[in-house]
């Protein structure tokens, strides 16, 4: 049966997650940038697997399955590491430790963030082969799935790192929230002093995302951990490398009925597939609807011609007022020139209605005026100097 809801939400997540990229790039938020990359990668994997194997459990694309199971293994742990990086950064900002950071300290912080978001997931992925019993499984309606031998080594190398990272993220999130409560009155000044490109609103959105995300992941990780320790027959002993990897080249194929018969319930299995689409949508709601993000969308739509640049009503009034003033001053210049020419030729002089309308202070102000309005509103009007003859 085709899971249209999962396909729709994973595709939507792939589209929405990259939208706030410009702001996070300018702010150099390693945790959020890495999370965006892993969310996109994970949702593409879910979208392809759910679509291609919607009504099949055949080994249709062996090469893709080899890639897919590693994407799943990598992103499951990497998303937790990104959350840890975000929570750690928020706690560092709120505790004012970043105020005292030197240039060398900032480089060290960047390297630590990269190690958490990139290094640890790669190490975790490289250890996947230790407990991989055979190449992969193909599940009907779910696609390619990694295969693990449930041993004590599997708990230590795969599941325990998930638990430790979740606990560390939760601790950092609680500390960040505590520091925010303690310094809430002067928090705007704290953020400004850290040069973190964060204001109070952005900080609260990041903290809310970190806390909600970890509260969603942590119970799921604990459920998976407990279920693996309570499998019928208990954990298999890890006798040797050869024993665990015996018949490694085989591919196990499971129709939907066999999956339900073997697992009893597919709730946890399906819930693990929903984590990335839900996290992606929530990521966009937290970071993709902020004031700075909306300004970026407007600039993009204006650039491609889907939205016209609108001027502020105040600026429109100023523009029309200055334009009228400019036109009148030019007319006064022309009339003044005509009068001076007439005087030289002995003609009767006549006072200009425009010169009567504009006083001496107006003339002086026009002489000093040479400004160009802000191009950000799409309007550019120059007020030129006008030199009036002295009366």
What single-letter DSSP state applies at residue 119?
Answer: I
Cα separation, 118 vs 30, in Å, equals 10
**Encoding tokens for residue 293?**
């993000």
Q: Nearest 5 degrees, angle CA 214-CA 219-CA 222?
A: 120
Instruction: Spell out the residues 6+ positions from residue 4 whose beta carbon is closer than 8 angstroms to its own.
Output: none
Please give the pLDDT value at position 371.
Answer: 44
The string of pLDDT tens digits covering residues 224-281 is: 888 877 776 678 888 889 888 998 999 999 998 888 777 666 777 888 889 999 999 9
Question: Which residues, at least 6 apart from 166, have a Cβ–Cβ distance to it below 8 Å?
Answer: 80, 214, 217, 218, 221
Q: What is the pLDDT along the chain (391 residues), one digit of tens a residue?
A: 568 899 999 999 999 998 888 777 877 789 999 999 999 999 999 999 999 998 889 999 999 999 999 999 999 999 999 999 999 988 888 887 776 667 888 888 889 999 999 999 999 999 999 999 899 999 998 999 999 888 889 889 988 999 999 999 999 999 988 888 887 777 677 676 665 667 777 888 888 888 888 888 888 888 888 887 777 667 888 888 988 899 899 999 999 888 877 766 677 788 888 999 999 999 998 888 877 777 777 777 777 777 666 655 544 444 445 455 555 555 555 555 455 554 554 544 444 444 444 444 444 444 444 444 444 444 444 444 444 444 4
Alpha-carbon distance of 252 to 261, in angstroms, equals: 15
As a residue count, the chain comes to 391
Q: What is the pLDDT at residue 278?
A: 92
Q: Which two tokens stand for residue 378?
A: 């799409």
Domain 4-303 listed as CATH 1.20.1070.10: yes
Per-position b or e across 129-142, b if 16+ CB within 10 A of its CB: ebbbbbbbbbbbbb
CA distance 140 to 58: 8
Q: Locate tokens 């006083």: which residue?
A: 359
The 8-class DSSP code of residue 28 comes to T
Predicted confidence at residue 93, as pLDDT, reads 83
Nearest partner of 142 among 256, 258, 42, 14, judged by Cα:
256
Phi first, then psi, for residue 330 (nearest 5°) are: -65, -40
Helix (H, G, I), strand (E, B) or coil at 264: coil
Supply 128's token pair. 């996947």
């Amino acid at each position: 049966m085709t899971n249209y809801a999962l396909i729709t939400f994973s595709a939507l997540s792939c589209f929405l997650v990259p939208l706030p990229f410009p702001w996070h790039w300018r702010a150099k938020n390693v945790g959020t940038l890495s999370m965006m990359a892993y969310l996109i990668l994970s949702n593409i994997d879910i979208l392809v697997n759910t679509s291609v194997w919607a009504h099949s459990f055949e080994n249709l694309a062996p090469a893709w399955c080899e890639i897919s199971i590693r994407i799943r293994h990598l992103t499951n742990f990497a998303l937790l590491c990104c959350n840890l990086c975000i929570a750690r950064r928020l706690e560092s900002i709120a505790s004012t430790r970043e105020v005292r950071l030197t240039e060398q300290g900032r480089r060290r912080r960047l390297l630590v963030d990269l190690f958490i978001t990139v290094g640890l997931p790669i190490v975790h992925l490289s250890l996947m082969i230790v407990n991989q019993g055979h190449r992969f499984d193909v599940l009907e309606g779910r696609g390619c799935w990694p295969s693990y031998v449930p041993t004590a080594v599997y708990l230590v190398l795969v599941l325990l790192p998930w638990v430790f990272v979740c606990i560390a993220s939760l601790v950092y999130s609680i500390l960040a929230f505590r520091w925010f409560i303690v310094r809430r009155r002067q928090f705007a000044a704290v953020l400004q002093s850290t040069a973190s490109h964060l204001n109070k609103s952005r900080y609260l959105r990041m903290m809310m995302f970190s806390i909600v995300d970890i509260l969603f992941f942590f119970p799921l990780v604990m459920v998976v951990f407990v279920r693996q320790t309570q499998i019928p027959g208990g954990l298999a002993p890890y006798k040797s490398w050869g024993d665990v990897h015996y018949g490694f080249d085989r591919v196990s194929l499971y129709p939907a009925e066999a999956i339900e018969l073997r697992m009893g319930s597919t709730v946890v299995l399906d819930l693990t597939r929903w984590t990335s689409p839900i996290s992606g949508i929530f990521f966009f709601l937290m970071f993709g609807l902020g004031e700075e993000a909306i300004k970026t969308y407007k600039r993009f739509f204006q650039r491609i011609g889907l939205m016209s640049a609108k001027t502020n009503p105040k600026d429109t009034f100023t523009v029309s007022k200055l334009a009228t003033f400019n036109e009148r001053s030019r007319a006064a210049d022309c009339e003044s020139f005509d009068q001076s020419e007439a005087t030289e030729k002995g003609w009767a002089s006549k006072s200009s209605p425009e010169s009567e309308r504009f006083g001496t202070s107006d003339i002086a102000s026009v002489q000093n005026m040479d400004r160009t309005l802000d191009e950000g509103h799409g309007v550019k009007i120059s007020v030129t100097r006008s030199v009036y003859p002295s009366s």
